[in-house]
Amino acid sequence: MNKIRLSVAIAMLSIAGCKSTPVNDVQSFADTTQTSQSQINTLISEYNNAAVEEKLLEIAYKNQKISTLDLDQAQQKKLGKTEPLYTLVVMNNALGAYVRSLSALSTAGNQEKVELAVGQLNSSLINLDANYQALTDKEPLFSKEKNSQIASIVASILQARAEKRRNEHIEKIVTAANPEIQIMIDKAIALIKTRKFEAAIKDHRNEQLLVVINDYNNSRGPRSSNEERKEKLDRIYEMYSEKITITQEIKTAIKQLELIKKGHSKLLDVFKDEENQVKELRTTIAYLKGINDRQSALETLYSSCESHIVLDKGQITCKDDNH
C-alpha cells in the first residue's frame, strides 16, 4: 500500500474511534485546518521576509547613512497593499478564525459561550470580507444581500437554546458562506502558484545557503576541529535540503488549501442523519491530517511519490514515469 494511503487509513481509524457527532466533526475539521494554516503561513511569511531582506540588501549596497525612513520603506515592502501576496497571510488567518468560530459555536455549552462564539463568527466574517477586498482590490467578498442573509442567521443563533436548533443554524451559515469561501481559497491558491512566489523563496534560501558555505570555506584550517567542521556541514546540508524542496513545499501548501476548500463544502454533510454522508468529509480531514503530521517536505515527497525521486534543475521532485 502506498505510504500516504496508509497514513490516511491510520488517521481514519483514529477519527472513527470517537463517537460521531456534528460537534466532533466540526471540531476535527477546525483543528486540522488550523494546523495546516500555520504551516502555510510559515511559507507565506518567508516570502514576505525575503522582500524585506531584499530591500535591506539594497540599502547595504549603497553604503550610505540610514534613517528610520529607510527602515519604514523596508517594512512597507511587507505591508504594501500593491502586493497581494503580502496580505495573503492575513486572509489565511481570517479564514482560520472563521473555521474556529464554527467549532466554538458547535461546542458552546451555555448562552454566554454561544454569545462569545457568535461574536467571533461576526468578527471573522468581517475580516474575511475586508482582507479579500484588500487582496483583490475589487468588490467585497460578500454581497449586501449575502451579508443580510448571514446576519439574519447569526441573530437566530442567539435565540436557539437547543443544540439541535443551533446546529441547524450553523449549517445555514456554512451553506451561505460556502461559495465565497471557495472563491477566496481559489484566489489564495492562484497567488501561491505564481512564479514570483516560488522564485523569491528560492533566491532567499539560496542566498542564505551561500553565506554559510562561504563562512565554512573561510573558517577551514588547522585551528578548526573535526567536530566544528562537521557541525557546520550538518547545518549546511540542512539548509541545502530546505533549498531543494521549495517546489515540493509549495505543492504541499496548495494541496492543504485544496483539502480545506473541499472540507468546507463537505462540512454540510455532518448535519445530515445518514452516516455515509459524512464519510467523504472524514476522509478529507484524515488526508489533511496525514499531510500535517509529516515533519518535512522530503517526508511528504517520500510518502506520496509512486514512481521515483530525482534532483531536477536544483529541485527534488517525484518523476512521472509516463513522461
C-alpha cell of residue 103: 467549532
Predicted confidence at residue 189, as pLDDT, reads 93
Distances (CA, A) of 181 to 28, 39, 85, 131: 19, 19, 18, 12
167 strand-pairing partners: none
C-alpha cell of residue 288: 489533511
Amino acid at 104: A
- As a whole number of angstroms, the distance between CA 199 and CA 196 comes to 5
Predicted confidence at residue 277, as pLDDT, reads 65
Segment 253-283, tens digit of pLDDT: 999 999 999 999 988 887 765 566 688 888 9
Q: How many other CB atoms are found less than 10 A from the CB of residue 210?
A: 11
Residue among 124, 133, 36, 120 nearest 87 (CA): 133
The proportion of the chain whose per-residue pLDDT surpasses 70, expressed as a percent, equals: 84
pTM score, whole prediction? 0.81
Predicted confidence at residue 74, as pLDDT, reads 67
- Residue by residue, pLDDT tens for the chain (323 residues) are 444 444 444 344 444 444 456 778 888 999 999 999 888 988 888 888 887 777 777 777 777 777 777 777 766 665 554 456 667 887 888 888 999 999 888 888 788 888 898 899 988 888 888 888 877 777 788 888 998 998 888 888 877 766 677 788 888 899 999 999 999 899 889 989 988 889 989 988 998 899 899 988 888 777 778 888 899 999 999 999 888 889 889 999 999 999 999 999 988 887 765 566 688 888 999 989 988 887 567 677 777 777 778 888 778 888 765 54
Segment 167-192, tens digit of pLDDT: 888 888 999 999 999 998 998 899 89
- As a whole number of angstroms, the distance between CA 252 and CA 249 comes to 5
What lies within 8 Å, CB to CB, of 260 at 6+ separation is 33, 36, 37, 95, 99, 185, 288
